[in-house]
Amino acid sequence: MSHKAFQADFIYLGNQEKISNGIIELNANSEITHLGENTSSSDIKTKKLNGFLCPGFINTHCHIELSHLQHKVSEGTKLHGFVQDLQKVRKADEATISQAIASAELSMRNNGIVAVGDISNGEDSFQTKSQSPIFFHTFVELFGFDKLQADRIYTRGLELKHIAQNRNLNASVVPHSSYSVSNELMKLIGKTQKNAPITIHNQETEAENSLFQKGEGEIKEMLKRFGLDLSTFKPIGKSSIFNYLAFLNTEVNTLLVHNTFTKPEDIEWAEQNHAHLYWCFCPNANQYIEKRLPNIPQFIDAGVSCTLGTDSLASNWQLSIWAEIETIQKHYPQIKTELLIEMACQNGAKFLGIDNQFGKLEIGKKPGLNWVNQGAVNKLA
């Protein structure tokens, strides 16, 4: 690829800054060599574009290993129904799973995604991720509500983490959620050395809070149907976030995902007790499963760090960060585009610890370059 220069109505830098009628130049290695207003730094022919330019998108929450389940799980069943339906259809032959994962990876590339925080429950996605030009951080996700099984599950998680690392993948072991991981297993994860960043599904459904507040609700009934013994479980009289956050390592970047039923008091307490929190929204997955969106403006008003994710093709119609932004803009038009770009770019890169290269348009960096015009994303670098 030769040197290229582009001019657009706006260039969003990825950190809420923007340049009107800006020009950006890239060398043959897609490294930014010039960024400014109106005039180019060389005699390279500048291609003028309608719409805007921005860095490559960061997808901080995805389950690429579930890509073979597209259109197979019913919409609007709420989380307990979604989980039960997922278990019924999840199994498939290796070739089907691998082909779907490869297709999903290509789709994300075509949608301008340059880095992904990806959940893994097994090895299915490791080969595709290890060969991808996308930066992947693999979150080895652990389940285990039975405290007697904590050591065994944790040991298996560490083994899977090492397998990922042997494939040259960045990896960490993480809990699935408050209602699927015992306090004993949560503690083991929290004490793991060289294990960052961390992620956990948080308050995705009202039933999650009901379990910890009152010891009742659809999540409790789902766990009982799975054969789990809840006789020793005691509710804490507060929402789920008050139960698990203290067990996790407060010194590492930690992503709370979904937050559909998170209240202002939850945000305030969590931020006071954890210095490295990020809050991830996957609005299309929330619409798919719960038919409800998180109150994103309350997080903006609180001044916390927010990111965006796609979740999986089992719970979404596509893997596109721009589609997530469009959904937010439709329901919360008061949120400025530059703030959403920051969520999709710089904040995601900071969470994953890759902001030295990704997330912001800056001379000397190769963060990817997306051209967005009339709702279509075109990957330019």
pLDDT tens-digit series, residues 169-215: 999 999 999 999 999 999 999 999 999 999 999 999 999 999 999 99
The answer as to whether 93 is a domain residue is yes
The answer as to whether 367 is a domain residue is no
- Average pLDDT of span 257-286: 97
Do 38 and 113 reside in the same domain of the chain? no
Does position 123 have pLDDT exceeding 60, yes or no? yes
pLDDT at 232: 81
| Residue 2 burial (CB count, 10 A) | 7
User: Percent of the chain scored above 90 by pLDDT?
Assistant: 87
Do 176 and 119 reside in the same domain of the chain? yes
Do 252 and 188 reside in the same domain of the chain? yes
Amino acid at 30: S
Which among 350, 312, 296 is positioned nearest to 105, based on CA atoms?
312
Euclidean distance between CA atoms 200 and 163, whole angstroms:
21
Helix (H, G, I), strand (E, B) or coil at 190: helix
Do 141 and 287 reside in the same domain of the chain? yes
The answer as to whether 364 is a domain residue is no
- Average pLDDT of span 240-259: 96
* Contact present, 334 and 297 (Cβ < 8 Å): yes
The order of strands in the sheet holding 277-281 is 198-202, 254-258, 277-281, 306-308
pLDDT at 276: 98
Q: What residues have CB less than 8 Å from 59, skipping those under 6 apart?
A: 108, 113, 115, 116, 117, 308, 309, 310, 319, 321, 348
Identify the weakest region by mean pLDDT among 38-42, 72-76, 181-185, 323-327: 38-42
**Confidence at 41, pLDDT banded by 50, 70, 90:** low
Domain with 118 in it: what CATH number?
3.20.20.140
Taking only the tens place, the pLDDT of each residue in 290-330 is: 999 999 999 999 999 999 999 999 999 999 999 999 999 99
Do 28 and 136 reside in the same domain of the chain? no
- Average pLDDT of span 343-364: 98
Tokens of 274: 């954890």
Residue 197, preceding peptide bond in cis (omega within 30° of 0): yes
Overall number of domains in the chain: 2
Residues of the chain by 3-state class (helix, strand, coil), percent to 5: 40, 25, 40
Do 150 and 293 reside in the same domain of the chain? yes
Domain that holds residue 269: 57-358
Euclidean distance between CA atoms 49 and 56, whole angstroms:
17
Which among 114, 161, 170 is positioned nearest to 141, based on CA atoms?
161
